[in-house]
Amino acid sequence: AQSVTQLDSQVPVFEEAPVELRCNYSSSVSVYLFWYVQYPNQGLQLLLKYLSGSTLVKGINGFEAEFNKSQTSFHLRKPSVHISDTAEYFCAVSDPYRDDKIIFGKGTRLHILP
Amino acid sequence: NAGVTQTPKFQVLKTGQSMTLQCAQDMNHEYMSWYRQDPGMGLRLIHYSVGAGITDQGEVPNGYNVSRSTTEDFPLRLLSAAPSQTSVYFCASSTDRASSKNIQYFGAGTRLSVL
């Protein structure tokens, strides 16, 4: 079964500094990978997704992620964070050959420091 | 186009009470699912449905029932509430299959407290 690990439960970073949120998934022949963001008191919304093709995926709000098959990672990055990026970020994985579910990581809370 | 609508937003129950969390979507999505979110646990899948009349269990189905009589609605029933079911519940929908290229759209959540 697929699984996903987010190594950091919380990440503090100063405003305008770069950030990387780490995500590793269990190895499989093929995967679909996702990053979702949850702003305070809201539901989740999709930031970006990797299905196939280019390993560098660009999403909304200046975020990007790189799919690394050899390291089974899909880390999320942003070159300069803003206070409005304060949120919880979830990495998720699914199996393209099964039509049942997406597996979510436990989340990383991003704290932006002034 | 309202997206995914969950009601109620907040609910307090006593142990042993039953209730139904409502979820409706107006995007004609085939796939719908229920998650619970607990601190440090991420989102855990309770039940899902790939179309009207079809439901299946997720990771944590015990204590919950679902049905899917229409494409639009996917209610989650708590049969006899327990304090362990205190959580935030999210409903999500996507166009046909969760593991395909389709995006999941989430409702705003229902915060449930069981005393």
- In this prediction, residue B50 carries a pLDDT of 86
Interface contacts (A, B; CB < 8 Å)? 65
User: What's the alpha-carbon Rg for chain A, to the nearest Å?
Assistant: 14
Mean pLDDT of A41-54: 89
Is A100–B4 a contact, with Cβ atoms under 8 angstroms apart? Answer: no
Is residue B83 within 8 Å of B17, Cβ to Cβ?
A: no
Q: Which residues of B touch A6 (CB under 8 A)?
A: 42
Is B42–A105 a contact, with Cβ atoms under 8 angstroms apart? Answer: yes
Is residue B7 within 8 Å of B107, Cβ to Cβ?
A: no
Residue B33 forms contact with A (CB below 8 Å) = yes
Mean pLDDT of B46-69: 93
Res B95 pLDDT > 80: no
- In this prediction, residue A97 carries a pLDDT of 73
Mean pLDDT of A89-95: 89
Is A100–B90 a contact, with Cβ atoms under 8 angstroms apart? Answer: no
Res B55 pLDDT > 60: yes
Res B107 pLDDT > 80: yes
Res A114 pLDDT > 80: yes
Element (H, E) at B58: none
Residue B28 forms contact with A (CB below 8 Å) = no
Summarize pLDDT for B8-23 with one digit per residue, the tens.
999 999 999 999 999 9
Residue A106 forms contact with B (CB below 8 Å) = yes
Residue A49 forms contact with B (CB below 8 Å) = yes
Segments of chain B assigned E as strands = 4-7, 10-13, 19-25, 31-38, 42-51, 54-57, 64-66, 76-78, 87-94, 105-106, 110-114
Q: Is A45 helix (H, G, I), strand (E, B) or coil?
A: strand
Average predicted confidence (pLDDT) for chain B: 91
Q: Which residues of B touch A44 (CB under 8 A)?
A: 43, 90, 92, 104, 106
Name the range with the highest mean pLDDT among A51-55, B39-43, B68-72.
B68-72
Res A62 pLDDT > 70: yes
